[in-house]
Homo-oligomer: A and B are copies of this chain.
């Protein structure tokens, strides 16, 4: 029932394509769903894909196109004329998918494709959708929905569904508007089905309805749909008129991409817009090398910071041995804090406004974590010094330096890690840039200074 693309399937198919065996290809694809066929297209050469798409019915071909990976779709569309794109694909798509596909085309091609769309309502819907920012409700919505007036009869709703929803795969609800086209409620399909055909919408509709504005950020739309368990949410303009509907599948896709980007940024990688396996090695390098170099340059400051304390190290080499331990503890604590804060912000659990509460908490947490690691570190050095001569005569002082440094560095790492994403967000940057490696680099340099300062305090004159 569910399809898994195998090498054998693919090579049989390619053989049939090269020998122009259309009947075999059609037979192979007959039972598959558009996302499966798109998975096959992603593996084919453009000329092969062009041969296959001509064997598909227009609706399936359009559905497949929507599901293709971005770069495959781009290359495929580049091999078609504007007229082919418009008539064979765009006309068979929901307005939101059509707008997304057109937005990816080069500017001059966009206008040509739009001029070839046969359905003028579809064309004007697409032009309207192209105005909205991708990251807003307007950028996620479609223009296809079923809308009835408050004074309609149930029977008219059925007619509206026939007319307005002829190309809608799924209808979740019928939206009810007043005489000014303002959204005032909804009528679930189930309610319509079980109501007498002579009922008036006004008597059976539900006036309690959650909607979003066209300029509501997509992130908020996702949080609202999550919170209220919605599968579809209507979008209204500034004066409350119904202008579109967002369905959960689009929001799930959006959220998934956002989450993936966040995770990648949090590891110091530029966001990928394609699956890991589809990226070439050069593309991967581009996404990774930039941040690595920035982090590396930041980290060269550790050499400078340590250079500053060269004399202390020369006098007591043992001090150098604890450098990785001290700075990584600060870095690990900072990574924990920044990740928790970034994720809680992404989920809408906290906002920048509560920064003071967050910092107060994280100072307490950091202090306790620092004390735990500080005590372990102190004991590690103190106990070990009984079994080795490596610490020289000042093992107690060294144990104190390590212990106190850990408390301070861990506390500091926790403050930096939790505060930094909040600061980024406050000034309009993406908090996920406060990645674990970025926070660790910040804390490494300052951690060294803290550590060697303690060593001067405790070991001065010894």
Interface residues of A (CB under 8 A from B): 1-2, 31, 33, 35, 158, 161-162, 165, 168-172, 188-190, 192-194, 208, 210-211, 224-231, 247-249, 252-253, 255-256, 259-260, 262-264, 266-269, 272, 275-277, 281, 284-285, 288-289, 291-293, 295-297, 299-300, 302-303, 306-307, 310, 313-314, 317-318, 320-325, 327-329, 331-333, 335-336, 338-341, 343-344, 347, 349-350, 354, 357, 361, 364-365, 368-369, 372-373, 376-377, 380, 390, 436-437, 440-441, 444, 448
Q: Are A276 and B335 in contact (CB under 8 A)?
A: no
Q: How far, in whole Å, are A188 and B189 apart by their CA atoms in the complex?
A: 11
Q: Which of B35, B276, B336 contacts A292 (CB 8 A)?
A: B336
Q: What are 11 A-B contacts defined by CB distance under 8 Å?
A: A33-B208, A189-B190, A288-B369, A295-B329, A303-B325, A306-B320, A306-B324, A307-B390, A320-B320, A328-B331, A336-B437
Q: Which of B168, B292, B350 contacts A277 (CB 8 A)?
A: B350
Q: Are A226 and B211 in contact (CB under 8 A)?
A: no
Known contacts A255-B256, A317-B317, A320-B323, then 13 further A-B pairs from the complex at CB < 8 Å, ordered by chain A residue: A170-B188, A170-B231, A256-B347, A267-B338, A268-B336, A276-B350, A277-B350, A288-B336, A288-B369, A306-B320, A306-B321, A324-B444, A328-B331
- Known A-B contacts A170-B190, A269-B340, A276-B350; the reply to A231 vs B228 at CB < 8 A is no
Say whether chain A's binding surface is mostly helix, strand, loop, or mixed: helix
- Known A-B contacts A268-B335, A310-B317, A321-B306; the reply to A444 vs B300 at CB < 8 A is no
Q: How far, in whole Å, are A423 and B253 apart by their CA atoms in the complex?
A: 29
In the complex, what's the smallest C-beta–C-beta distance from A208 to chain B, in angstroms?
8
Chain B CB within 10 A, most for which of A324, A329, A380:
A324
Closest to A303 in B: B321
Q: Are B224 and A2 in contact (CB under 8 A)?
A: yes
Q: Are A448 and B324 in contact (CB under 8 A)?
A: yes
- Known A-B contacts A276-B340, A310-B317; the reply to A295 vs B328 at CB < 8 A is yes
Chain B CB within 10 A, most for which of A211, A224, A376:
A376
In the complex, what's the smallest C-beta–C-beta distance from A262 to chain B, in angstroms?
8
In the assembled complex, which residues on chain B have CB atoms less than 8 Å from the CB atom of A284? 361, 365
Q: Are A313 and B307 in contact (CB under 8 A)?
A: no
In the assembled complex, which residues on chain B have CB atoms less than 8 Å from the CB atom of A225? 252
Q: Are A268 and B168 in contact (CB under 8 A)?
A: no
In the assembled complex, which residues on chain B have CB atoms less than 8 Å from the CB atom of A376? 293, 296-297
Q: Are B437 and A285 in contact (CB under 8 A)?
A: no
Q: Are A260 and B320 in contact (CB under 8 A)?
A: no
In the assembled complex, which residues on chain B have CB atoms less than 8 Å from the CB atom of A436? 267, 335, 436-437
In the complex, what's the smallest C-beta–C-beta distance from A301 to chain B, in angstroms?
9
Q: Are B33 and A332 in contact (CB under 8 A)?
A: no
Closest to A344 in B: B276
What 3 A-B pairs have minimum CB-CB distances, sorted nearest first?
Answer: A267-B339, A302-B324, A276-B344
In the assembled complex, which residues on chain B have CB atoms less than 8 Å from the CB atom of A322? 303
In the complex, what's the smallest C-beta–C-beta distance from A375 to chain B, in angstroms?
11
In the assembled complex, which residues on chain B have CB atoms less than 8 Å from the CB atom of A339? 263-264, 266-267, 269
- Known A-B contacts A231-B249, A263-B263; the reply to A440 vs B328 at CB < 8 A is yes
- Known A-B contacts A296-B376, A324-B306, A324-B323; the reply to A285 vs B369 at CB < 8 A is yes
In the complex, what's the smallest C-beta–C-beta distance from A135 to chain B, in angstroms?
19
